[in-house]
Amino acid sequence: MEELVILNRTAEKAKNLAETLKGLGAKVKAGTLSLDNLDEELPTTNILVNATSAGMYPNIENSPVPSGLLHSDLCVMDIIYKPLETKLLKDAKSAGAKVVSGLEMLLYQGAVAFEIWTNYPAPLEIMRKATLNELEKQGVYL
């Protein structure tokens, strides 16, 4: 069974979330978002998701993960969409990893909501263009 590892700056919050997920049957462990823990976990990790705001505008030179720990067997998702290509995603690309930007989460949560409310398939490409136009209007670096 695959394991979920939740690392957060405030370890207490990660532990509370892990307890909730364990109650739903997930194999999960939690700890502090520290260099030691990243160093221990990342070599055997396949999917890395940044759900923190580290790297979000205006702190675009920040990343929650040192570039040297990223590798080509990773798929890295950053849920930040301002900017669309964060430092973490740039570093991940340079390390040969697959990358997924925060645009996808923004788009697909809207698509699911659209389908629940209308019972029609979501017009994903129209929604993608509209989202990108709106982000551009808001000055999001694309």
Ligand X SMILES: NC(=O)c1ccc[n+]([C@@H]2O[C@H](COP(=O)([O-])OP(=O)(O)OC[C@H]3O[C@@H](n4cnc5c(N)ncnc54)[C@H](OP(=O)(O)O)[C@@H]3O)[C@@H](O)[C@H]2O)c1
Interacting residues with ligand X (CB under 6 A)? 8-10, 13, 33, 52-54, 56, 64, 79-81, 102, 105-106, 109
**Residue 132, phi then psi, degrees to nearest 5:** -65, -40
- Minimum distance, C-beta of residue 134 to ligand X, in the bound complex (Å): 13
- Compute the CA torsion angle 3, 107, 14, 30 (nearest 10 deg): 20
Cβ of residue 64: shortest distance to ligand X, in angstroms? 5
Q: Which residue lies nearer to ligand X by CB, 1 or 125?
A: 125
The Cα–Cα gap between 124 and 127 comes to 5
Nearest Cα neighbor of 95 from 121, 76, 122 is 76
* Min separation Cβ 1 and ligand X, Å: 25
Which residue's CB is nearer to ligand X, number 45 or number 52?
A: 52
95 or 100, CB closer to ligand X?
100
What is the sign, positive or negative, of the torsion defined by CA atoms of 129, 134, 137, 141?
A: negative
Write down the least CB distance from residue 118 to ligand X, Å: 20
Based on the number of CB atoms within 10 Å of its own CB, is 134 exposed (0-12), middle (13-18) or buried (19 or more)? exposed
Minimum distance of ligand X from residue 10's CB (angstroms): 3
Q: Which is nearer to ligand X, 25 or 125 (CB)?
A: 125
Measured from the CB atom, the residue of 76 and 81 that comes closer to ligand X is 81
**Residues counted in the chain:** 142
Side chain identity at residue 88, one-letter code: L
